[in-house]
């Protein structure tokens, strides 16, 4: 695995539950390149604990996983869905996809097959876009099937608008605390 000089965890160790091993190699840090009309943007992508862990949910198991900030129960629904995250991130520049903004982060919803119940459901992915040591970064803070029917913000952006703004941002802007999980 390539060694990136970022503060986030670069890889997650597999876990075992009821005699089965669950690898987390699909959540290793990686590069993604988005080619726009005016510029090309290269990001280093990392993933947070919330992509595969959530306490006290239907598919949470009695096994905890920790990063440097917190400890949570592993959630098998989130774990199985997280296997598709890398492909989704690599294709964010597909025409027609927009990201919307909440108070703290950018989010994106897609309709995706839930491998546990075999239903198509809205899958919400939340990110932070920032600059770390002159490197453009995406940190996926959370990803889950959204069942609360929450109102989506009217404020939406294309990936290239966010990438351009992130590239222009001064380095000193700071790293989101969620991305410091090593």
Residue 173 pLDDT exceeds 90: no
Top pLDDT among 102 and 7 is at 7
CB-based burial of residue 23 (10 Å sphere; 0-12 exposed, 13-18 middle, 19+ buried)? exposed
Q: What is the mean pLDDT of residues 11-34?
A: 97
List pLDDT tens digits, range 94-139. 866 777 766 667 888 888 999 999 999 989 999 999 999 889 999 9
Q: Which two tokens stand for residue 62?
A: 């009695």
pLDDT of residue 134: 87
Spell out where 23-59 has E strands.
30-35, 40-50
Q: What is the mean pLDDT of residues 48-70?
A: 95
Residue 172 pLDDT exceeds 70: no
Q: What is the mean pLDDT of residues 49-69?
A: 95
Spell out where the chain has E strands.
15-17, 20-22, 30-35, 40-50, 60-66, 71-75, 99-101, 106-113, 120-132, 135-145, 156-157
Exposed e or buried b per residue across 25-50, where buried means at least 16 C-beta atoms within 10 angstroms of its C-beta: ebbbbbebebeeeeeebebbbbbbbb
Residue 175 pLDDT exceeds 90: no
What does pTM read for this prediction?
Answer: 0.90
């Amino acid at each position: 695995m390539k060694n990136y000089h970022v503060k986030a965890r670069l890889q997650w160790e597999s876990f075992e539950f009821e005699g089965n091993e669950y690898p987390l190699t699909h959540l290793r840090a990686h590069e993604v390149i988005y080619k726009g009309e005016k510029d090309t943007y290269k990001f280093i992508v990392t993933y947070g604990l919330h992509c595969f862990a959530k306490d006290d949910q239907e598919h949470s198991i009695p096994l905890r996983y920790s990063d440097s900030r917190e400890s949570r129960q592993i959630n098998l629904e989130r774990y199985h869905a997280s296997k598709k995250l890398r492909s989704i991130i690599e294709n964010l520049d597909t025409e027609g996809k927009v990201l919307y903004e909440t108070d703290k982060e950018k989010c994106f919803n897609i309709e995706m097959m839930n491998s546990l119940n075999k239903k198509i459901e809205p899958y919400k992915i939340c990110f932070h876009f920032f600059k770390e040591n002159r490197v453009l970064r995406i940190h996926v803070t959370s990803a889950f099937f959204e069942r609360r029917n929450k109102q989506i913000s009217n404020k939406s952006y294309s990936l290239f608008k966010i990438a351009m703004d992130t590239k222009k941002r001064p380095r000193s802007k700071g790293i989101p605390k969620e991305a410091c999980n090593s």
